[in-house]
Amino acid sequence: MGMSPWVVSRRRLLQAIPAGAVAMGAAALAGERSLEAVTRAAQAGGTDEEFWRRVRDEFLLDKDWTYMNNGTLGPTPKPVYYSLTERYHDLAQDPGQPNTDQNNMAEEVRRKAAAFLGADVDEIALVRNTTEGMNFMLGGLDLKAGDEILTTFHEHGGGLNPCNLKAKRHGVVVKAVKWPAPAEDPDVILKAFDAAITPRTRVFMVSHVMYQSGSMVPLKELAALARSKNIITAVDGAHPPGMLKMDMHDLGVDYYASSSHKWLCAPTGAGILYLRRASQEQLWPTVVAGGWDDPKRGAARYDRQSQRAHPIVVAQGAAIDFQTAIGRERIEARVRALCTYARRQLSGLPGITFHTSMNPALSNALLAFTLPNLKNADIVYTLKKRHRIWTRTMEYDLNAVRIATHIYNTEAQVDALADALREIVKGQVLAMPTA
């Protein structure tokens, strides 16, 4: 505790690398070794627990803390962190050739992202986050006064604000589809959307995973319903990439925006915007630079930003490599199993209400709950101050505490959370300071 991450990483770095090697890109070498370690662990027999312990070792996380808010921001594992620092170091040393080289590396990252998400390379734009991707989608569509966007009752501002801007500026109508939550039957959600469609409905703007409850929508079926009525699906996919195994072509959506700095554990400011090839024709780019009007460029037309933070883009490729080495199915199975374990361990708490669906088709690695007679802010504050567990409140329409379980979390950490909550329920709670 108390030491800056840079100091910690330099120390570990120097321990890990022979002195002679430092001059030839110490960070890159350390990142490579870390990736090799995970690849070897993934191929080795070993128990599952042993494997996940080794994966956890490849994160620079402070061991004194239990971090359970990957839904806001994920920690970068070593290969990502070292890739980032190495590239920035290269630019500091020489902003000439390295800048050109890093710019050119974006194409490789695009290819990796396409393979990771089940998309084609010309369907991938490299953006900064979900919010930017959602603005690019909604801002780029020609919608007229009276056209309707159907959305849900638990949308994040990242997708909702661009819809509301469209409403204020162009008279587009934004309607929230409602259903009794949490839905355990995907048909409930599909029927609610079907019933809300009118001849003016142009867009479904939905979160694949809803940030407040952690529940999901049946996206593939919603996209099929939309397509059957000539409606566009614009998806806020802030969470699933890096959490669930994804296949964009199988999902059949038109546009899908995500934040790689969440579950993919890429550096802050890395995001992927999927734009289905055939659906690009009707989407205007928002930020334009040379090449924006050349359809042969595919989705790359939508991320033309001139000079940008190339080290972040390149490190996003390292994040994809890291998760690919572990295995996408293996990650999904692990993060879901930890979340299921958390639900089981917490379910004994008196009066607990879970806001997350129990249906595996509608749930994942986020879990939201409420405890009676306690303020969520006080629970989160006590977990942080007394137990060193980092969670978050959801003080919006849904009044809840939300936890996230990712690959660096353990069952022991979930047990510690359950113990801490048991104490809190018995009255060992700190009031969150108001000022």
Ligand X SMILES: Cc1ncc(COP(=O)(O)O)c(C=O)c1O
Among all chains, which residue has been given the structure tokens 């997708």?
Answer: 159
Say how far apart CA 293 and CA 184 lie, in whole Å.
45
Nearer to ligand X (CB atom), residue 207 or residue 323: 207
Nearer to ligand X (CB atom), residue 136 or residue 211: 211
Nearer to ligand X (CB atom), residue 238 or residue 400: 238
Largest CA distance in the chain: 69
Please select the residue that binds ligand X; options are 69, 83, 85, 129, rule is CB under 6 A.
Answer: 129
Total residues in contact with ligand X, by rule CB under 6 A: 12
Does position 303 interact with ligand X (CB under 6 A)? The reply is no
Say how far apart CA 170 and CA 154 lie, in whole Å.
23
Nearer to ligand X (CB atom), residue 35 or residue 244: 244
Identify whether the C-beta of residue 132 lies closer than 8 Å to the C-beta of residue 271: yes
Does position 34 interact with ligand X (CB under 6 A)? The reply is no
Exposure string over 129-161, b if 16+ CB within 10 A, otherwise e:
bbbbbbbbbbbbbebeeebbbbbbebbbebbbe
Site for ligand X in 225-254 (CB under 6 A): 236, 238
Please select the residue that binds ligand X; options are 39, 72, 340, 399, rule is CB under 6 A.
Answer: 72
Helix (H, G, I), strand (E, B), or coil: what is residue 209? Answer: strand
Nearer to ligand X (CB atom), residue 26 or residue 309: 309
In the complex, the smallest distance separating the C-beta of residue 257 from ligand X, rounded to whole angstroms, is 8
Does position 259 interact with ligand X (CB under 6 A)? The reply is yes
Nearer to ligand X (CB atom), residue 233 or residue 345: 233
Nearer to ligand X (CB atom), residue 31 or residue 158: 158
Roughly what angle, to the nearest 10 degrees, separates helices 310-326 and 78-93? Answer: 160
Please select the residue that binds ligand X; options are 76, 135, 207, 363, rule is CB under 6 A.
Answer: 207
Does position 376 interact with ligand X (CB under 6 A)? The reply is no
Say how far apart CA 365 and CA 240 lie, in whole Å.
9
Pick the stretch among 13-21, 80-88, 126-134, 410-418 that binds ligand X (CB under 6 A): 126-134
DSSP E strands, 77-182: 124-127, 148-152, 173-177
Spatial CA neighbour of 298 closest among 313, 287, 283, 320:
283
Say how far apart CA 106 and CA 432 lie, in whole Å.
44
Total residue length of the chain: 435
The DSSP result for 332-348, as a single string, is HHHHHHHHHHHHHHHTT
- Helices (H) and strands (E) counted in the chain, each on its own, are 14, 13
Does position 130 interact with ligand X (CB under 6 A)? The reply is yes
Does position 211 interact with ligand X (CB under 6 A)? The reply is yes
Pick the stretch among 51-59, 84-92, 129-137, 169-177 that binds ligand X (CB under 6 A): 129-137
Please select the residue that binds ligand X; options are 98, 140, 158, 298, rule is CB under 6 A.
Answer: 158
Does position 355 interact with ligand X (CB under 6 A)? The reply is no
Does position 274 interact with ligand X (CB under 6 A)? The reply is no
Pick the stretch among 152-160, 189-197, 333-341, 418-426 that binds ligand X (CB under 6 A): 152-160
Distance linking the first and last C-alpha atoms of the chain: 26
Nearer to ligand X (CB atom), residue 208 or residue 328: 208
Interface positions with ligand X (CB under 6 A): 72, 129-131, 156, 158-159, 207, 211, 236, 238, 259
